[in-house]
C-alpha cells in the first residue's frame, strides 16, 4: 500500500489478504455445499457489518499510525485502547512464530515436489535443526527487508496478491473445464456434496447442529485489522481506503461461494474423502494434484504429461502458499508492532524502541521482535516436551486474545456514534439504528465464537486448555494494565 496505489490495487491486496484459498478448500472438504449457508450467514452477520465499522473508523483515522488505539481511545478510553492493542499484538506474535515455522513446508514442496519436513534427517542432519535454521534465517531476512522501508512490504503483498490471483484462475478455469466436459455429472456431484457427512463429529444435517463450522467460517474472514493498520500509507486514504474495503468485502464473499460451488460440481467429494492420501494437513496440495490428474484423464494426456501437469499444479500451489505466508508475515511483523509502539503514548516505551531509521521504520523494535521470535523457534526446535506443551498452551492463551479486540472494536462503535466524533452527514450509514445493529450483530457472532471456544475443552475434559483460554487474556490484559498505570503515574508525578 504505497502512496500511489489505485482503488483497484487496494481491492486486490485487501481481497487476497483476507480471502484464504486453503479455508475455501477446507470448507469444501469438510462440509461440501452445506458450507455455503454458513459462509453467507458469517458474511451477512459478521464480515460485512465488521467491514463497514472498520471502513468508518479508517475513514476518520486513516492518517493515524495507531489504528486500533486511535479508534478506541476516543470512543472508549485511552487505557482500554492500550489494553486492547496489547492483546491484539500478543495474539499476532504467537501466530508469527507459528507461520515462520510452517513456511518451510511450501518451500520444501516448491523445490523438491514433496514435503520433506516430516523426514527424520535432511541432508544427513536432523530435520528439526535444518528447519530451525531456515525458519530463523527467514525471520531475520524478512525483518531486515521490512526495515528497508514500506515499499518492501508492498512488494511482498503484491507478490502474494498476484500469486493468489493466479491460483484462483487456475483452479476456477480447471474446474470449469471439467464441468463443461462432464456436464451430466454436475448435479449428481452437487447432490453427493450436499449429502456428504459433516466432517465434525457429533453433527448432523440439521443446520443448528453444525455450529462448529460457523466458528470456522468466521475465522475465514479474518485479516481486516492487519490490512487496516497500513491505511496511513495510502494517499487520499480517507476516500480510497473505505471504498476499497467495502468493495473487497463483496468480492471475498463471492469468491468463497463460487469456489465451493465449482469444486463441488466438478469433483466427487465422496471419492476424495475415501483417498488415504488426503488429510487436512496436505489438503490444498492433494486437491490441486487430483484436479490436474482429472484434467489429464479427461483430455487423454499421456502418463508423462499427466505427471508433469500434476507437478506444475502442486508446485504452483506451494509457491502461492509461500507467497501468501511472506505477504502475511510482512504485514503482521510490522502492522501490529507499529500500532503498539508508534500509535500509543510514547512515554510508555523506552526511547530506544521508538528510534526510527531513515526509512521511518522502528528499527530497534523490529530487531528486538526478530530476536524474540528466533529464540521461540530455537526453543521449540529442540523437541522438548515441556517447551512444546508450553507453546501449545500459549497458543490457546491467544485464541480468545485474537477475538477480543474485534469484539471491543464492534462494541465501541455505538459510543463512537454517540459522541459524534464524525458528523452525521459524514457517516457511511446515517441511520443510527442500522449502525447499532451492525455493532450488535458483530458482537453476537464473536460472543458465540468465544463461548464455543470455552465450551469445547470443557466438553472434552481438557481443563488445562480451558484454563489457558481464560487466563491468557487476563495475563496479557493485566500486564498491559500495569504498563499503562505506570505511564499514568509517571505523567502525574
Long-range contacts at 376-383 (CB < 8 A, ≥ 24 apart): 376/97, 377/97, 377/100, 377/101, 377/132, 377/135, 377/136, 377/139, 378/132, 378/136, 380/97, 380/101, 380/132, 381/128, 381/129, 381/131, 381/132, 381/135, 382/128, 383/128
Long-range contacts at 420-426 (CB < 8 A, ≥ 24 apart): 421/60, 421/74, 421/75, 422/56, 422/59, 422/60, 426/59
Q: HSE on the CB side for 130, CA within 13 Å? A: 16
For residue 62, the model assigns a pLDDT of: 65
Q: Which helix (H) or strand (E) holds 186?
A: helix 186-195
**235 φ, ψ to 5°?**
-70, 145
Q: Which residues contact 257 (CB under 8 A, 6 or more apart)?
A: 36, 39, 40
CB atoms within 10 A of CB 428: 16
Residue 424 is given by DSSP the state G
For the chain, give every domain's residue range.
7-384+401-451
- pLDDT, one tens digit per residue, over 206-255 is 655 567 778 778 888 877 777 765 565 555 556 677 778 788 888 888 99
Q: Which residues contact 447 (CB under 8 A, 6 or more apart)?
A: 407
For residue 12, the model assigns a pLDDT of: 82
Q: Which residues contact 458 (CB under 8 A, 6 or more apart)?
A: 466
Query: How far apart, in Å, are the Cα atoms of 425 and each of 215, 337, 430, 431?
Result: 36, 34, 7, 10
Please, what is the Cα angle at 315 between 311 and 321, to 5 degrees? 150
Question: In order along the chain (493 residues), what is the average pLDDT of each group of 10 residues?
Answer: 62 83 86 87 90 83 71 90 91 87 86 76 77 90 88 84 91 92 89 77 58 79 71 61 80 90 88 78 85 92 93 94 89 87 87 85 91 90 68 69 87 89 78 90 90 81 80 88 89 76
How far apart are alpha carbons 137 and 457 in whole angstroms? 36
Query: How far apart, in Å, are the Cα atoms of 192 and each of 4, 34, 196, 198, 402?
Result: 48, 11, 6, 12, 36
- Do residues 321 and 106 touch, judged by C-beta distance below 8 A? yes
Q: How many helices and strands in the chain, by DSSP H and E? A: 21, 2
CB atoms within 10 A of CB 279: 10
Q: HSE on the CB side for 11, CA within 13 Å? A: 12
125 bridge partner residues: 122
Q: Which residues contact 489 (CB under 8 A, 6 or more apart)?
A: none
Helices assigned H by DSSP within 197-236: 211-219, 224-228
Residue 198 is given by DSSP the state P
DSSP structure string for 110-145: HHHSS--TTSSEETTEEHHHHHHHHHHHHHHHHHHH
CATH level 2 (architecture), domain 7-384+401-451: Up-down Bundle (1.20)
Amino acid at each position: 500500500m504505497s502512496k500511489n496505489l489505485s482503488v483497484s490495487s487496494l481491492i486486490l491486496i485487501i481481497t487476497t489478504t483476507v480471502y484464504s484459498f486453503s479455508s475455501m478448500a477446507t470448507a469444501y472438504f469438510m462440509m461440501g455445499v452445506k458450507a455455503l449457508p454458513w459462509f453467507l450467514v458469517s458474511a451477512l452477520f459478521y464480515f460485512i457489518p465488521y467491514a463497514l465499522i472498520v471502513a468508518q473508523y479508517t475513514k476518520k483515522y486513516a492518517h493515524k499510525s495507531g489504528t486500533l488505539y486511535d479508534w478506541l481511545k476516543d470512543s472508549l478510553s485511552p487505557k482500554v485502547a492500550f489494553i486492547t492493542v496489547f492483546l491484539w499484538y500478543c495474539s499476532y506474535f504467537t501466530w508469527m512464530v507459528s507461520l515462520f515455522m510452517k513456511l518451510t513446508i511450501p518451500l520444501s514442496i516448491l523445490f523438491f515436489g514433496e514435503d520433506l519436513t516430516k523426514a527424520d534427517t535432511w541432508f544427513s542432519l536432523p530435520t528439526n535443526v535444518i528447519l530451525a535454521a531456515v525458519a530463523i534465517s527467514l525471520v531475520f531476512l524478512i525483518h531486515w527487508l521490512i526495515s528497508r522501508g514500506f515499499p518492501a512490504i508492498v512488494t511482498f503483498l503484491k507478490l502474494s496478491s498476484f500469486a493468489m490471483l493466479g491460483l484462483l484462475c487456475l483452479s476456477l478455469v480447471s474446474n470449469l473445464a471439467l464441468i463443461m466436459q462432464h456436464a451430466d455429472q454436475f448435479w449428481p456431484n452437487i447432490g453427493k456434496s450436499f449429502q456428504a457427512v459433516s466432517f465434525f463429529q457429533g453433527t448432523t444435517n440439521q443446520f443448528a447442529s453444525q455450529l462448529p463450522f460457523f466458528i470456522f467460517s468466521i475465522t475465514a474472514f479474518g485479516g481486516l485489522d492487519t490490512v487496516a493498520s497500513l491505511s496511513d500509507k495510502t494517499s487520499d486514504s480517507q476516500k480510497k481506503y473505505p471504498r476499497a474495503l467495502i468493495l473487497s468485502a463483496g468480492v471475498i464473499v463471492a469468491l468463497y461461494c463460487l469456489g465451493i460451488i465449482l469444486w463441488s460440481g466438478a469433483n466427487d467429494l465422496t471419492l476424495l474423502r475415501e483417498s488415504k492420501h488426503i488429510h487436512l494437513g496436505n489438503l490444498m496440495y492433494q486437491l490441486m494434484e487430483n484436479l490436474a490428474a482429472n484434467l489429464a484423464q479427461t483430455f487423454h494426456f499421456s502418463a508423462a504429461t499427466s505427471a508433469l501437469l500434476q507437478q506444475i499444479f502442486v508446485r504452483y500451489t506451494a509457491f502461492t502458499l509461500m507467497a501468501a505466508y511472506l505477504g502475511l508475515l510482512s504485514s503482521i511483523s510490522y502492522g501490529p508492532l507499529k500500532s503498539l509502539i508508534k500509535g500509543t503514548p510514547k512515554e510508555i516505551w523506552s526511547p530506544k524502541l521508538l528510534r526510527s531509521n531513515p526509512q521511518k521504520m522502528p528499527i530497534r523494535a523490529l530487531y528486538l521482535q526478530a530476536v524474540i521470535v528466533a529464540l521461540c523457534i530455537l526453543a521449540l526446535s529442540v523437541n522438548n516436551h515441556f517447551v512444546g506443551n508450553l507453546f501449545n498452551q500459549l497458543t490457546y492463551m491467544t485464541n480468545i486474545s485474537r477475538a477480543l479486540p474485534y469484539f471491543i472494536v464492534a462494541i465501541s462503535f455505538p459510543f463512537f456514534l454517540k459522541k459524534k466524533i464524525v458528523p452525521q452527514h459524514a457517516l457511511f450509514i446515517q441511520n443510527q439504528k442500522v449502525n447499532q445493529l451492525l455493532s450488535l450483530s458483530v458482537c453476537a457472532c464473536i460472543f458465540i465464537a468465544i463461548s464455543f471456544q470455552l465450551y469445547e475443552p470443557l466438553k472434552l475434559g481438557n481443563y488445562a486448555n480451558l484454563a489457558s483460554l481464560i487466563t491468557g487474556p487476563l495475563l496479557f490484559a493485566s500486564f498491559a494494565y500495569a504498563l499503562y498505570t505506570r505511564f499514568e503515574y509517571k505523567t502525574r508525578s
